[in-house]
Amino acid sequence: MAKMSDEACSIARALGVVGERWTLLILREACLGATARSRSAYRLTPAGRELQVVLSALQQWGDERLPRPEGPSMLRRVRGTDCPVHVGYLDDAGREVPFADVAVIPAG
């Protein structure tokens, strides 16, 4: 299989923007509502807010694969119902697709 170039890979392009550890940690704090000093407050753009699902996926993976003895540091819940939620794959109809049933196929 031929190696995909970084320019063609959306993961590589995204990491070019958010690839540093501190960037993701700042995004985590901003998603939780934190701001910095008034002269340099963090204001999430719509694109920044959309990265919350990426942070949640990393958190979910860490909770499952690298658990703390005292349990997760954050819980994901549906507002108003307190029902647990998790990050996963959805089809076009909104139905969850099990991880084992997802094929990742090079687009060409």
Distance CA 64, CA 42 (A): 30
For residue 59, being part of any structural domain is answered with yes
Give me the torsion for CA of 54, 58, 63, 64, rounded to 10°.
100
Which pLDDT belongs to residue 1? 62
pLDDT band at 84; cut points 50, 70, 90: very high
For residue 14, being part of any structural domain is answered with yes
pLDDT band at 94; cut points 50, 70, 90: very high
For residue 106, being part of any structural domain is answered with no
pTM: 0.78
For residue 33, being part of any structural domain is answered with yes
pLDDT tens track for 18-74 = 888 888 888 888 888 887 766 567 788 899 899 999 999 999 999 999 999 999 989
**Are the C-beta atoms of residues 10 and 4 closer than 8 Å to each other?**
no
pLDDT band at 2; cut points 50, 70, 90: low
Q: Which is more confident, 1 or 107?
A: 107
For residue 47, being part of any structural domain is answered with yes
Instruction: Give the domain range for residue 34.
Output: 10-101
